[in-house]
Structure 1
Amino acid sequence: MCGIFFSLSASGAVLPNEETCCLLRKRGPDNYHVHSVEHKITNPRSSNEEPIAVQLTFVSTVLSMRGGYLVPQPLVDPTTQSVLCYNGDAWKISGEPIQGNDAELIFKLLLQAINHPSKATSSADSSTNAVQGVLALISSISGPFAFVFYDAINSKLFFTRDSLGRRSLLQGVNESGAFKLCSLCDGTSSTHFSEVETDGVYVVDLEHAIFQNNSIATKSAGTPSFDASCIQTLLWEHNASDLPLRPRNPVPPMNKSIPEGEAPPLTVETTAVKELEHNLRQSLAMRIQNVREPPTASSGSNVKVAVLFSGGLDCTLLARLSHEILPKEEVIDLLNVAFENPRVAAAAKSKGDATGSVYESCPDRITGRAAFAELQRVCPDRNWRFVAVDVPYQETLAHRETVKRLMRPHNTEMDLSIACALYFASRGQGLAFDSRQLDAQPMQYATSARVLLSGLGADELFAGYSRHGAAFSRDGFAGLIDEINLDVSRLGKRNLGRDNRVIAHWGREARFPFLDEEFVSWVVQLPVWEKCGFGTPLPPADSPEAGLDSEKKALRLVALRLGMTNVAREKKRAIQFGSRTAKMEKSKVKGTDALT
C-alpha cells in the first residue's frame, strides 16, 4: 500500500505541504520519493500563444507488502519517461493470481499497452488504441487500487480508483490553479478537495489540457489555472466489450428476481450457504496467505494478521475462517476498541450504576470477550490474542484533530465517531490477553501486524441493517432488493475512502474479504432469499437454525456450520455505539450534523 501525491502546475513544481508529507510517510513508512517531469502544452483556444510549460510532480510513499523486496515508487520508465504512482493490492490479473510485486507487474503491462497498440492508421488511432489497452488492463485487475499513470508516449494522464472505491484518492484545484491528486487532503482545508468518484477512469489529454486565467488570484499573478472541465470520464460498464473506450465493471447488475409463491427455506444445508462458506474462504485466503514478516518481528512479536474485532458476526467469521487457513503456530490478534464516554459515564453515575470499568461495560467489549471465548472453545489449538484497546476521553480529545484531518473531506458527526473507532483500533495498542496464558497478567502490547481484516461490506451485501427489514415490511422483496442495491452501489462514496485514510495512518493495510470482486459478483447474482431470511419459512423450533435473525441469515448459517453457535445469534450494532464513540459530549446531536 502507498501514499500518492500528484500535481499538474503551470507555475513550477508543486509539492505537498509539510504536514501532508508527514501524513503520507505515515501511510508508507518504507520509502519516500519525488519525481518531476516538464511537459509543453498548447492552448487549444488560442493558436497564437506560446506553449505553456507545465510541471508534473509525482510523490509516492510505500508500505511494502508484496513480493520479496522493496519496490520504490514512483515507478519511472527510463525509455519513455512514463510514470506510475500505484496504491493497491492486485490479487489477480485476467483471473491469474499474481506472484511477486503487483506494482511492478502492472507498470510493465501498462507500458506494453501504450507501446504496442494494435494496428492503427494514424497517430490519433494509435493514441485511441493505447487508451483502450490501458482500460483493458485496468478492467483485468482484481483487487483494490487507486493510481495515477502518466503515458508520456501519448501525452495522457490516467487516474482512477477501483469500482468499489477501496483505496482513497482525492482531487482538486488549489488557489494557485494547480491540479492535485492525493491519498488525503493536501492542507488543513477540504475546500479544494473531493473524493475521486468510483464511476470510471479519468483521462487528461495533455496535448489539449486547458489552462486559463479564470480566477482573480491567477490573473493578478499571471499564472494560468487548470480547467477541470478538460478531464474526460470513461465510465465503468459491465458489458464493456460492446462499447468503445469503456472499462469493464467487474460487478454485474443485482439479481432482482422475486420468488413465485413462498421462498424456499434457508438452512445450513442450502447449497448457496455451502458455496458462501467456500467462496468467502477463498477470498480470505488470498488476503492472508504469504504475508511478509513484519519489520518489528525482531522485537518479539511476529504476528502478521490481526482482525478489527468487535465480536460481531462478520469479523468473528473472518477470524474463525482464518484459523483454518493460517499455520497453527501463528498468533492471530483480535483488536477490540472501547472508549471512555463521559456522557455515558455521567448517566451511569447518576443512576448509581457506575461500578466496574467504563471500558469493560462497552457493548463491543462485552461481545468481543464472548466471541473470544467461543473462538477458544471451537479452535483450542490456536493462540488467539485479544487486545483490549482502551481509549481514555482525554486521549480521544488529543487525537481528535488528527482524525478530522485524515477523514476529510468527510465532515459529519457520524464520520468522526466511526473514524475515531477505526483510528484507535488500527493503532493496535492495548492490554493483551493470550488464550494460552489466560491466568497470566495482561501485558501492554502493540501488534506487529500490517494486515488488518475488516468485515466491512457484509451488511450491505447480506441485508444487515435495520432499514433492510423496514424495506421488506414496507415493499416486500422488491423493496428489499432495491435497498440492498442502493447500499452496494454507494459503498465507495460513503465509507471506504474515509476508512482507508484513517486506518492507513498507522502503516497498516485493511483488507476486506467481503469486498473481493469475484465474491461480490457471486453474491449480487444470488436471489435475495439466499442472502437473508426475510420472507423465508421459519425453521422448526427444535432445529439449530431456530432463533436466527433474518438479517444476514446466510452468514449466520455459515457461522453455525463452523460451530459458532453464539456468534451466529449476535445482533447488528454500529461501531460508534458498540465502542461508544458516538455522542461523547451531547446526546442531542445527529449523525448527519456537520462538524464545526
Structure 2
Amino acid sequence: MALIKLVNFKSFLFQKDVSECLCRRGPDASSRYDVQGVPGYKVHFVGSVLWMQGRQLFGQPAIDNKGNVLLWNGDIFGGKLVRIDSKVVRHRAEEISWKAIQLLFQSGNTETSDTKVLLDALGEEVPILQVMCTVRGPYSFIYWNNTSKRLWFGRDRIGRHSLLWQINTLSSMLALTSVAKKSRPEFQEVPACGIFCAHLDENNGTYLFLSELNFCLDSIHLHPWSDITEDEISSFKKESFELIISPIKIQSPVFLPDAGLFLTGPTTDDLSPFTQVEHPSSSHMKLLEDLLKDRALSSRVHDLISILKKAVKVRVKTQLDACQSCATICNAHNRSTGCKEGMGWNKFGGDLEVKSSVWVFKSEVHSPTEINAKIQYFNSTDQVSADMNSVHIEDEGTKRVCQHCKTAVLFSGGLDSAILAALAHEFVPSGEPIDLLNVAFERPRPHREMSRKERKQGNKQRADKFDDVPDRKTGRQTWAELRQLHPERNWNFVEIDVSQEELCLERSRRISDLIHPLNTILDDSLGCALWFASRGEGTLVLPSGDNSGYISPARVNISLEDSLPMTLFLTLAQVVLLGMGADEQLGGYMRHRTTLGQRGWQALLAELRHDLARISTRNLGRDDRILSDHGRQGRFPYLDEGVISYVGALPPWHRCCPIPSLPPGVGDKTLLRLAATKLGLYKAACLPKRAFQFGSRIANSKEKASDVSDRL
C-alpha cells in the first residue's frame, strides 16, 4: 500500500527495503508525494498500486485539487458513500440527523476506480468518519486532510488488510506502512478497533514543539467502532504514547452479537431436528440429507447460500477483465500511448479502445519464465510501441480474447474451499478456467547426507510422498466431485509441492519479513503454507484418462535431473478466494465442541464472538501481507459484512450442533455442511475439519503453536 513518515526538520531517507516490499504488493505503478506547508514537519507518501478496478489505472498517492492525499488499499464491495450537511453535524454523534443523509456515490461503479470515488467523497464537506462508516469491503487507508492538517488512518472492522505503525517519540517519527521487514522490530500492527487521527497543526496542542528541531508526540485520537468493548480498547493502548479515546464512535458495518443476546438457550423444538433424526454412524451423507428435510433448517440453508453467493459474486466480478499477464501488457501500452481517463481496459467485459479499433490479446503466454520476460519486455515503452506481437487489431466491436484464468481458489478440498469453488463457478465466465491451488509439503528429512542411491530413489518417489499428504487426497477427491457436478468448467487442479530446501530458502529470503511482526510457530506454518499456495506455481494435473485436457497458456514441459518430464504451471489469476472466517463463525474448531460440552451454549456463543473479534490480530493482516507479495489479491467471502451480519444474528445452535450424538463431520459447521449438501457437494460436506498447517503437512504436531518460532 504505502509508507508515510512524519518527521521533524532533520532529514530522513526512505528505507529501501520497505519500498521494495511495497512494490511487490503493487507492481503496476508507484509514486511518491511530499506534503508542503506544514511548519515543523515533513510528510512523505509513497504508494504502490495493484490495478484491480477501474477502466484506467488510478495512481497513488491520490491527490485532489485541495491538496488532500489518499493512500487506499482496499475494495468498496457494498454500502454507500454518503453526504451529510455539515451544518447538521456537531461534535457529538447523537446530534447527527440521519434524515440529512443523501446519496453521493453508489459502490460498484464499473467505470471508475474506487480510489477516486473515495477521494472525491472524502474531499466533500462531509465528516470523514461518516464517509468511512459507509464503506463495505476490506481496506486499510491513510488520508491527509490538508485543510485541518490531520492525518487519518485505520483498517476495516474485521482487519482484512494490513497496516503497520511505528511511533517513536524520541526520534520524532510516525511511520505507517502495509509491510516492513523483520529488521525493523519497532513496527507493530495497527489494531482494527476504529479510525485513528493525528493532529499536525502546531496550535492545537496535540503535538508540543520543544524546539525548532524536535517535537513531542503526545497522543493519537481513536474513534472506536460502535461494537468495540472497553476491554478490547484497553488491550490496544500503548505505553509509548497516549491514546485518547474519542466519545464519537463509528457505526460498525457488521453485527457482532453480545454473549448475552440469547439468554434462554435452545428449546426442545430448536434441537429436535438433530435429536430425532436417525443417524447411523456410517452415513454422514444420509444424515445431512435427512436434516435438509426440516423446513426451518432448509430455509436457513437457502438464506446462507444466497448471501454467500452475493459475497462470492462481488469478489469474482470486481476485478480487471484481464489476467495478471495481459493486464501488465495493457498497463504498459496505456503508459506508452498516454491513455487518458476513459481509455484502456474495461474491467467488466469492455474493450481496449485505440481510436476506432480494438486491441485484442492473443493467448500466447506460456511458462513462468516467459511471463516474466514478457512483463519486463512490455515495461519498456519503446518496445510497446515498436512491437505488439502479443496483441492484434480487430474491427471495432471485437470482444476480448483474454480467457486466461483470473480467479483461483486456495483449495484443500475441504468443506470451506469446496463451497467457494462451486459458487465461483456461477460467476466466472464459462470460457475461463478456475485454478484450484493445492499445496503440500515434504516431511523434514533426517539430518544426514543421503547416498546417491537414496537421492535417485527420492526423486523417483517425489510424487508418491506428496500424494500421501492429507490435503492432496481431499483436494483430488473434491476436484473429481466438482468435475462431475460441473463438467463444462475447466477446473485446473494445481499441485504445489514444496521441498524442505525450498521452504527454508524462501522463508529466510522473503516470507519471514512478510510474517513480521507476528512470530509464533503457528504464524510460521500458516504464513509459509499460504505464501507457496498463493504463488500458484506447481504441477497441472489432467483428469484420469484425459489425454488432451485443457491446455493452460501457462504450461511448459521441463526436465529435472533423475526424473521424468513434468508439467510446470503458474496461475495467472489476479484474485484468490480463501475460506478464512468460516470456522470462527460457524463452530468449526474442536474446542467449540469442548466448550459446549463443558460450559453450555452461552459459553459457546461468547467463544464464537471472541474468535471473530480477534481474527484481525491473529492472522488477517499477516495473510494480506503474504498474499499481496505475489501481486495477487486475497479475498475472503466468509468475512463479507453481509455474511457476518447474517450469521451473527443466528443463535449458535442454528450454526452448529456439536453435541455427542452428532460426530465431527456433521455437528461442526452444520449449517455450512447442509449448504454444501444442497449444492451437490455430498462428499465434501462430510469431510472432517483439518487445520491448514496439518492438512498441508507443514506443521510439526509436537511443537506448541503459540511458542515463538526460531525459524523466523
Asked whether the equivalents of residues 15 and 57 of structure 1 are also in contact (C-alpha less than 8 Å), the reply is: no
Q: Is the aligned partner of 1:470 residue 2:470?
A: no
Aligned partner of 1:494 in structure 2 is 618
Give the 3-state SS of the residue equivalent to 2:160 in structure 1: coil
Offset at residue 291 of structure 1 (A): 2.8
Spell out the pairing of 1:117-516 with structure 2 (5 A cutoff): 117=126, 133-174=127-168, 176-185=171-180, 187-207=181-201, 208=204, 209-210=206-207, 223-224=213-214, 227=217, 229-238=218-227, 245-254=248-257, 256-257=261-262, 258-261=265-268, 263-264=270-271, 265=273, 267-268=291-292, 269=295, 270=297, 271-292=299-320, 293-297=322-326, 298=363, 299=365, 302-343=404-445, 357-401=464-508, 402-435=510-543, 438-439=546-547, 443-516=567-640
Q: Tell me if structure 2 keeps the 8 A contact 1:463–1:552.
A: yes
Give the distance between the partners of 1:455 and 1:171, measured in 2 at CA: 27
CA distance in 1, matches of 2:622, 2:446: 27
In the alignment, what sits opposite 2:334?
none
Q: Establish whether residue 111 from structure 1 lines up as the match of residue 219 from structure 2.
A: no
Q: Equivalent residue for 1:533? A: 657
* Deviation by residue 1:195-236 (Cα, 9 ceiling, x = unmatched): 1011111001111442567xxxxx9xx942552x42001111
How far apart, in 2, do the equivalents of 1:571 and 1:223 lie?
Answer: 61
Task: Summarize the Cα distance change of 1:65–1:562 in structure 2 as closer, same or farther, 3 Å threshold.
Answer: same
**C-alpha separation between the residues in 1 aligned to 2:164 and 2:648?**
28
Distance, in Å, in 2 between the alignment partners of 1:169 and 1:549 is 38
User: In structure 2, do the counterparts of structure 1 residues 491 and 511 end up closer, same or farther at CA, with 3 Å as the change threshold?
Assistant: same
**1:75 CA displacement:** 0.5
Q: 2:703 aligns with which of 563, 572, 589?
A: 589
Distance change in 2, residues 1:530/1:379 (3 Å): same
Cα distance per residue 1:298-319 (max 9 Å; x no partner): 5167110000111111011100
The worse-fitting range, judged by mean Cα deviation, of 479-488 and 252-261 is: 252-261
3-state SS in 1 of match to 2:153: strand
- Aligned residue pairs, count: 539
* Residue of structure 2 equivalent to 1:563: 680
For normalisation by structure 1, the TM-score amounts to 0.85
CA contact (8 A) 1:383 1:434 kept: no
1:506–1:226: structure 2 CA closer, same or farther, 3 Å change rule?
farther
RMSD: 2.7
CA change 1:368–1:54 in 2 (3 A) is same
Distance 2:421 2:681 in 1: 11
- Do the aligned partners of residues 357 and 239 (structure 1) sit closer, same or farther apart at CA in structure 2, a change above 3 Å counting? closer
CA distance, structure 2, for counterparts of residue 581 and residue 536 of structure 1 = 31
Displacement of 1:262 after TM fit?
A: 5.0
Q: Deviations over 1:36-60 (max 9, x none)?
A: 013445xxxxxxxxxxx20010010
Deviation at 1:290, TM superposition (A): 4.9
1: CA distance, partners of 2:318 / 2:173 = 41
Specify the alignment match of 1:59 in structure 2: 46
Distance 1:496 1:419, change over 3 A: same
Identical positions, percent: 34
Per the TM alignment, residue 191 of structure 1 is displaced from its structure 2 partner at its CA by 2.6
SS for the counterpart of 1:143 is coil
Contact between 1:385 and 1:435, CA under 8 Å: does it hold in 2?
no
Normalising by structure 2, we get a TM-score of 0.72
Q: Does 1:98 align with 2:200?
A: no
Q: Distance in 2 between matches of 1:317 and 1:151?
A: 43
Deviation at 1:333, TM superposition (A): 0.1
Contact 2:324 2:573 in 1 (8 A): no
Equivalent in the alignment of 2:67: 81
Structure 2 CA distance for partners of 1:18 and 1:278, relative to 1, 3 Å: same
Counterpart residue identity of residue 334, structure 1: L
Separation (CA, whole Å) in 1 of partners of 2:173 and 2:499: 41
SS, match of residue 46 in structure 2: strand
Q: Label 1:308 to 1:225 Cα distance change in 2 as closer, same or farther (>3 A).
A: farther
Change (3 A) 1:29 1:415: same
How many Å apart are 1:176 and its aligned residue?
A: 3.2
Unaligned runs of 5+ in 1: 42-52, 118-132, 214-218, 539-545
Structure 1 residue 284 displacement after superposition: 0.5
Kept after mapping to 2: 8 A contact 1:13/1:36 = no
Contact 1:84 1:149 in 2 (8 A): yes
Tell me how far 1:589 sits from its aligned partner: 2.6
Q: Give per-residue Cα distances to partners, 1:252-310, cap 9 Å, x unaligned.
A: 23163221335242632521111001110111001002531124145167110000111
Q: Deviations over 1:560-589 (max 9, x none)?
A: 011111100111111111111113xxx643
CA distance in 2 between counterparts of 1:211 and 1:494 reads 35
SS of residue matched to 2:467 = coil
3-state SS of 1:418 partner: helix
- TM-fit CA distance, 1:359: 1.3
Q: Deviations over 1:381-439 (max 9, x none)?
A: 11100011111111111111211111111011110110000000000001112459843
- Per-residue deviation, 1:245: 2.6
Secondary structure of 1:342's counterpart equals: coil
